[in-house]
Chain A
Amino acid sequence: MYAFEYQNPSTAAAAIGSAKGDARFLAGGQSLVQAMKLRLSQTGTLVDLSGIAELKGISVAGSNVIIGAMTRHSEVARSAEVKQAIPALADLAGGIGDQMVRNQGTLGGSIANADPAACYPAAILGLGATIKASVGQKERAITGDSFFTGLFETTLAPGELITSVEFPVPDCAAYVKFKQPASRFALVGVFVAKFGSTVRVAVTGAKSSVFRATDIEAALSKSFTPEAAAAVKVSANGMNGDMHGSAEYRAAMVSVMAGRAVARALG
């Protein structure tokens, strides 16, 4: 690991103030620390967010669940409020990596990293969440649909800090992933959520970035059944292909996982 200056501010404002030049924020570090060890990532200044109380916590306001960016996956998975309001989200958090990763990894860290096979991005897109982020004195709300822009890329500006995420509570939802057994990342993961007559279907692991499967959404808006999702033939265009599965395999798995997610959502 290359050397860096370490800072551990106690407020979000101080963290944003510390983030000059090529500084990086350290959330749970479950991807960043490993990337730094491998020298895939380096920084002049590492700003540790773990001492910032205002970035942690879970609350329910109206029809939204609001989760602080530094909330650990295991806290979301075990939260009575999340289990009650959006059980699919607690379930997703409880299936990320392994228990040690879940005890350290955070919501904000996961979505800022934008790993193409990570689980949380599927919930951001599938639920149409809103990401609150700050840079300088400016705070903004970013729609889930516009947040992820490519492979490990987001719309965040340099030095911009995610503070919290607002998840709208759906009528019903579920997340099902077909795991890559060694990494536990999604080979293909599908998040399905129903809001009245609108259905959102988000897919992770299959392309360079999380995306919405609009053909499956259209089919499920007409008939919210596992069969309707599984019957949609998804194009292999733009799908990842590697030693674990071809592009055609992943495309086929999107429909299969979507069908299973609908079955689980219907309980």
Chain B
Amino acid sequence: MTVSVTLTVNGKAASASVDPRMLLVHLLRDQLQLTGTHVGCDTAQCGACTIHLNGRAVKACSMLAVQANGANVTTIEGLTGKGDKMHPMQEAFRDCHGLQCGFCTPGMVMSACQLLADNPKPTEAEIRAGLEGNICRCTGYHNIVKAVQQAAAQA
């Protein structure tokens, strides 16, 4: 059985014929070639696969591609503005050395954007609590928090 899925990804219409058991993250990475969204733990612990579904952060490894039918999806590739201008959150991560190996970074940035959308001026404790769903195995949390603080200050 295949199901046809139509969605908007980073502002562009996309459609695919998928097996219902295909995960959204695999549709994005393998069929749409958007490999910025990472598969880390694959068991919903690490948050590396975080994307925005209709403006809300979700884990793309925890949902089926068919669940995103008709949805508006933004991945890390879609945050970049015109002329490859980086999103302020991406700039802040670069300025503050908010990444080491970089594997968790796409998910961290997508989560951090959601965090500031809900709470534009968070305290340090609120940032740490808000990023609970994202794990950095380099343990570079301190500079990640600084990056989110910088992005919040500049917004």
Q: A and B, one complex?
A: yes
A6 & B58 in contact (Cβ 8 Å cutoff): no
B66 & A74 in contact (Cβ 8 Å cutoff): no
Interface string of A169-184 (1 = CB under 8 A from B): 0000000000000111
Bound-state CA distance A139–B135 (Å) is 43
Residues of B within 8 A of A100 (CB): 47, 50, 57-59, 62, 111, 133
Interface string of B57-85 (1 = CB under 8 A from A): 11100111011010000000000000000
Bound-state CA distance A29–B24 (Å) is 12
A98 & B132 in contact (Cβ 8 Å cutoff): yes
A5 & B58 in contact (Cβ 8 Å cutoff): no
- Looking across the interface, which residue of chain B has its beta carbon closest to that of A104? B58
B21 & A101 in contact (Cβ 8 Å cutoff): no
Bound-state CA distance A38–B59 (Å) is 16
Interface string of A3-17 (1 = CB under 8 A from B): 111101000000000
A182-B45 CB under 8 A given contacts A29-B67, A33-B62: yes
A99 & B63 in contact (Cβ 8 Å cutoff): no
Any chain B CB within 8 A of the CB of A222?
no
Interface string of B130-151 (1 = CB under 8 A from A): 1011100000000000000000
Interface centre among B50, B62, B69, B130 (most CB of A within 10 A): B62
B1 & A6 in contact (Cβ 8 Å cutoff): yes
Residues of B within 8 A of A143 (CB): none
Question: How many chain A residues touch the partner (CB < 8 A)?
Answer: 30
Bound-state CA distance A184–B129 (Å) is 11
Q: Which of B1, B3, B43, B57 makes the CB contact (< 8 A) with A34?
A: B43
| Distance (whole angstroms) from the CB of B135 to the closest CB of chain A | 9
Question: How many chain B residues touch the partner (CB < 8 A)?
Answer: 31
Q: Which of A33, A103, A184 makes the CB contact (< 8 A) with B132?
A: A184
Bound-state CA distance A48–B59 (Å) is 17
Any chain A CB within 8 A of the CB of B104?
no
Any chain A CB within 8 A of the CB of B56?
yes
- Looking across the interface, which residue of chain A has its beta carbon closest to that of B3? A6
| Distance (whole angstroms) from the CB of A207 to the closest CB of chain B | 25
Any chain B CB within 8 A of the CB of A159?
no
A50 & B47 in contact (Cβ 8 Å cutoff): no
- Looking across the interface, which residue of chain B has its beta carbon closest to that of A78? B118
Any chain A CB within 8 A of the CB of B114?
yes
- Looking across the interface, which residue of chain B has its beta carbon closest to that of A184? B132
Q: Which of A8, A97, A184 makes the CB contact (< 8 A) with B66?
A: A8
A4 & B21 in contact (Cβ 8 Å cutoff): yes
- Looking across the interface, which residue of chain B has its beta carbon closest to that of A1? B21
Bound-state CA distance A1–B42 (Å) is 13
Q: Which of B19, B42, B47, B130 makes the CB contact (< 8 A) with A3?
A: B19
| Distance (whole angstroms) from the CB of A22 to the closest CB of chain B | 16
Which 9 pairs between the two chains have the least Cβ-Cβ distance? Answer: A98-B133, A6-B20, A103-B56, A1-B21, A98-B132, A100-B59, A100-B133, A100-B57, A104-B58
28 A-B residue pairings within 8 Å (CB atoms) = A2-B21, A3-B21, A4-B20, A4-B21, A5-B20, A6-B20, A26-B64, A29-B67, A30-B62, A33-B63, A34-B62, A37-B43, A38-B43, A50-B67, A78-B118, A98-B47, A99-B57, A99-B118, A100-B47, A100-B59, A100-B62, A100-B111, A101-B59, A101-B62, A104-B58, A104-B59, A104-B63, A183-B45
Not counting A48-B66, A104-B62, A182-B45, a sample of 17 additional A-B residue pairs whose C-beta atoms are within 8 angstroms of each other reads A1-B21, A4-B20, A6-B1, A8-B66, A26-B64, A30-B62, A34-B44, A38-B43, A97-B133, A99-B111, A99-B114, A99-B132, A100-B59, A101-B62, A104-B53, A104-B58, A184-B132
Interface residue ranges, A against B (CB under 8 Å): 1-6, 8, 26, 29-30, 33-34, 36-38, 46, 48, 50, 74, 78, 97-101, 103-104, 182-184
